[in-house]
Copies of this chain bind each other. A is one copy, B any other.
Amino acid sequence: MKNQFKLAGIALLFLFYGSLFAQDVVKYNREIWLKKAEEFKPELSKDVIQPKGIVELVEDERAFQGWTVKELGAVESIYERSFNELKTVIVDFGNHYTGYFSMNFRTLRGTPDGPLRFKLTFAEVPAELATPFDPYPGALSRAWLQDEIITVTDALSEVKLERRISGRYMKIELLGSSRYFDFAVSDLKFTAVTSVKEKPETLAESADDIIKKIDQVGLNTLKECMQTVYEDGPKRDQRLWIGDLYLESIANAVSYNNHDLTKRCLYLLAGLSDERGVVHGTVFEAPEPHPQSGQFLYDYALLFNVTLKEYFEATNDKETVSELFPVAKRQLEIINDYVQPDGIIDFEKANSEWWLFFDWKNDLHKAASVQGLSIFALSETYKLAELVDREDELKDVPELIKRMKRGSMKLYNKKINLFESGSDQQISYASQIWMILGGVLSKKESQKTLNSLLSMENAVQPGGPYMYHYFIQALVNSGMHSEAKEYLVDYWGGMVKKGADTFWEVYDPDNDYLSPYNFYPVNSYCHAWSCTPVYFIRKYPEIFQ
């Protein structure tokens, strides 16, 4: 009895100091890590894009969100035309770009004797140009919408819009001019920026056309999001979120190979972790790197570890992992705060103390997802430890994984081969997916579960591309290769067929107007977490190509 107490005491002491150790390593190294992040801040490449042409909006109920565009001619056709008469024009840059717009003016009559006033509206998709922005019903800042009113006081010089914008189409509307002179707009230019430098390999000739197209749109999405960090969306949010980082970095590792960007982001997140050593779900770069204070996502914190592990597999960069391993260890400790003796995460407690994101899906019950993702993170982090010979620092992890896997089975309804979440025994894609990714089931069992899921009518569906990624991964992991390809082609190919130049933040094949923000023009139509077909197609060519 006495000895038992003693051992428990030593164990507690060990746990306490062990914990303090990881926390302190993180705390005292943050400044160094921020400097490293700055060191690896990429120079952006600049590419001057000429407009592809002039277009007009056409209402079309079969088109995505009810609008398409019709080509009207070359951009040069407006370079000699009176803008006092033209008044409005829509320019098509031919693809989605992120960067800076500039234009010039050509005097057609008289001398510019008064300023010009324009409204410039940039759009990722046609409907953004057709939908009035005000009164604004959206839940996010109205200022994300890309309509800018500018005053041109010198119509003899180039005008550059200072705001970085993102999209394919631009509407120019004349709001003010002088009757004493006339002018044309000219030299419309878009200086596109990205931190992508390398051209990825082309796919096998034999790959399906739709796969090639999906890959291309995915690559474009990823390229657009790769700026001085992996952004979530270049139009909206424009920042580093861990969930997006994870998916972007694994797609990058099979395409653009800009591993320094991944490294920068990992250091940035580590450098901006809080006093406890917990990484924030999202951080900002300007004016100085800083986190979104208080924004802690349970699932994202643990995905930091998985990203680090994938980074190591792609680069074999032992120095970075050796520096950031304490951060990964510290994130694992989060699980300790909630795991119960039966190996089940105390969902209520975790849910009250964290934002459990997982998906944009209000009705999703996340207990099973948290359970599965925690095991996944433990397993991946342990694999990383093995790769760098530091598994002795995670001695308790294998046992914890086992216990949690055993515990997970309490959520498994063996009659229907599905995991249930919450007291309502909710059956969702998310629950099955995360349990499978956590390795709770054998490949055979996984197949059974997924097949059971696919035949269910009322299962809670994935809310969008982010969860869809994990769905495809679960199918791959379960050896359901034809289904993986089928669902990938069906979902991302659906966006392609609807005219996507880049993959969307939100996509419900049955509802073009879905928006988590109550206003679909403020959705991001070039969104990091949707780029992952690039990863699947290139990581598993035998399945997808």
Nearest chain B CB to A6 CB, angstrom units: 47
A111 on the interface (CB 8 Å rule)?
yes
Say which one of A35-43, A282-290, A297-305, A384-392 lies at the interface with B: A282-290
Pick from B117, B291, B292: contact of A141, CB below 8 A.
B117
A113 on the interface (CB 8 Å rule)?
yes
Q: Are B295 and A143 in contact (CB under 8 A)?
A: no
Q: Are B287 and A157 in contact (CB under 8 A)?
A: yes
Q: Are A286 and B154 in contact (CB under 8 A)?
A: yes
A116 cross-chain contacts in B, Cβ below 8 A: 141, 143
Q: Mark A156-171, 1 if CB is under 8 A from B, else 0.
A: 1100001110000000
A111, B294: Cα distance in complex, Å: 9
Residue of B nearest to A142 (CB): B176
A139 on the interface (CB 8 Å rule)?
yes
Q: Are B114 and A144 in contact (CB under 8 A)?
A: yes
A110 and B293 contact, Cβ closer than 8 Å, known pairs A136-B176, A154-B286, A287-B156: yes
Pick from B143, B284, B287: contact of A176, CB below 8 A.
B143
A295 cross-chain contacts in B, Cβ below 8 A: 111
Nearest chain B CB to A501 CB, angstrom units: 23
Nearest chain B CB to A428 CB, angstrom units: 27
Residue of B nearest to A133 (CB): B176
A156 cross-chain contacts in B, Cβ below 8 A: 286-287, 290
Q: Are A115 and B144 in contact (CB under 8 A)?
A: yes
Pick from B112, B114, B136, B291: contact of A111, CB below 8 A.
B291
A178 on the interface (CB 8 Å rule)?
yes
A115, B164: Cα distance in complex, Å: 12
Nearest chain B CB to A402 CB, angstrom units: 40
A175 on the interface (CB 8 Å rule)?
yes
Residue of B nearest to A178 (CB): B141
A110, B112: Cα distance in complex, Å: 46
A140 on the interface (CB 8 Å rule)?
yes
A197 on the interface (CB 8 Å rule)?
no
Nearest chain B CB to A486 CB, angstrom units: 38
A238, B153: Cα distance in complex, Å: 10
A148 on the interface (CB 8 Å rule)?
yes
A111 and B287 contact, Cβ closer than 8 Å, known pairs A141-B117, A143-B175: no
A7 on the interface (CB 8 Å rule)?
no
Nearest chain B CB to A87 CB, angstrom units: 13
A176 cross-chain contacts in B, Cβ below 8 A: 136, 141-145
A279, B42: Cα distance in complex, Å: 54
Q: Are B151 and A151 in contact (CB under 8 A)?
A: no
Residue of B nearest to A158 (CB): B287
A152 on the interface (CB 8 Å rule)?
yes
A179 on the interface (CB 8 Å rule)?
yes
A110 cross-chain contacts in B, Cβ below 8 A: 292-294
A139 cross-chain contacts in B, Cβ below 8 A: 179
A380, B508: Cα distance in complex, Å: 82
A112 cross-chain contacts in B, Cβ below 8 A: 284
A293 and B144 contact, Cβ closer than 8 Å, known pairs A139-B179, A153-B163: no
Nearest chain B CB to A108 CB, angstrom units: 13
Q: Mark A172-215, 1 if CB is under 8 A from B, else 0.
A: 00011111000000000000000000000000000000000000
A292 cross-chain contacts in B, Cβ below 8 A: 110-111, 113
Other than the known A140-B178, A154-B286, what 19 A-B pairs have Cβ atoms closer than 8 Å? Answer: A110-B293, A111-B291, A111-B292, A114-B141, A114-B143, A114-B144, A115-B141, A115-B143, A116-B141, A117-B142, A141-B177, A142-B176, A142-B177, A143-B151, A143-B175, A144-B176, A149-B149, A156-B290, A157-B286
Nearest 3 Cβ contacts at the A-B interface: A142-B176, A114-B141, A143-B176
Q: Which residues of A contact B (CB under 8 A)?
A: 110-117, 136, 139-145, 148-149, 151-154, 156-157, 162-164, 175-179, 238, 284, 286-287, 290-295
19 intermolecular pairs with C-beta atoms under 8 Å apart: A110-B293, A111-B290, A111-B291, A111-B293, A114-B140, A114-B141, A116-B143, A117-B143, A140-B178, A142-B176, A142-B177, A143-B151, A143-B152, A143-B175, A145-B176, A148-B151, A153-B163, A153-B164, A156-B290
